Amino acid sequence: MDERRYKIRECRKEDLGEVIAINRRCLPENYTSIFFEEMREKYPDLFYVAEVDGKIVGYVMCREEAAGLDLPRLRARRRGHIISIAVLPEYRRRGIGRSLLTKALESMRMRNLEECILEVRVSNTAAINLYRKLGFETVSQIPFYYMDGEHAYLMRAKLTG
Ligand SMILES: CC(C)(COP(=O)(O)OP(=O)(O)OC[C@H]1O[C@@H](n2cnc3c(N)ncnc32)[C@H](O)[C@@H]1OP(=O)(O)O)[C@@H](O)C(=O)NCCC(=O)NCCS
């Protein structure tokens, strides 16, 4: 089998152990297992994994949130938020991150969300390049957003229009 082949599918409850291990290995921003479980239960269509030969090698976890009031139409604006995305180092640069993100954005469009936002370390060139490729633009900088004092870029992609 072509070792570069991967499958993107919704995250199952039994995948969470592997997902959490990838999160701990790849990112300093870690969440409790209860948080991962809650996100999967609430937003199953916004939580995807990449699988290679039965092994989970990457994930993207997102949620839906309110984004203020749309005036003058007086209706709540809704947006997607990429909470966490990571691919194991040995599986990077073969399109997995892009496929995970594309799938999540597709699901956000199915939910009729207007936009998607995310925060990213200003030094994280790999992730910033990936986000730009998928239509994200920098909106602002959030000073000292991370625990170690690094600043974040707030990035946004329009999903409608
Ligand atoms: C960011 C991350 C998810 C990308 O995953 P990936 O599977 O390697 O990404 P892809 O192969 O789909 O790359 C898509 C595009 O992103 C950009 N990119 C990815 N890795 C890059 C790197 N190391 N340097 C520069 N650009 C990079 C490129 O534009 C790439 O397109 P190309 O391969 O045609 O040049 C991965 O590097 C990762 O897990 N990093 C650690 C966790 C992390 O930083 N998450 C983001 C937190 S906000």
pLDDT tens profile 24-81: 999 999 999 999 999 999 999 999 999 999 999 999 999 999 988 878 777 788 999 9
State the closest ligand 1 atom to the C-alpha of 84, by its place in the atom list counted from 1: 47
Task: Sort 87 into a burial class: Cβ within 10 Å, 0-12 / 13-18 / 19+.
Answer: buried
State the closest ligand 1 atom to the C-alpha of 100, by its place in the atom list counted from 1: 12
List, in order of start, the domains of the chain with CATH numbers: 7-114 (3.40.630.30)
Pocket lining: 26 vs ligand 1, CB cutoff 6 Å:
yes
Distance 122 CA to ligand 1 centre (A): 14
Q: What does the DSSP assignment read for 127-154?
A: HHHHHHHTT-EEEEEETT-STTS--EEE
Q: What is the mean pLDDT of the chain?
A: 95
Examine the pLDDT at 132 and tell me if it is beyond 70. yes
Mean pLDDT of 12-24: 98
State the closest ligand 1 atom to the C-alpha of 124, by its place in the atom list counted from 1: 44
- Provide the whole-model pTM: 0.95
Mean pLDDT of 109-136: 97
Examine the pLDDT at 7 and tell me if it is beyond 80. yes
Residue bearing the CA closest to ligand 1, atom 30: 130
CB distance 37 to 47 below 8 Å: no
Pocket lining: 73 vs ligand 1, CB cutoff 6 Å:
no
Mean pLDDT of 137-144: 98
Of residues 70 and 7, which shows the higher confidence score?
Answer: 7
Tokens representing 41 are: 């239960």
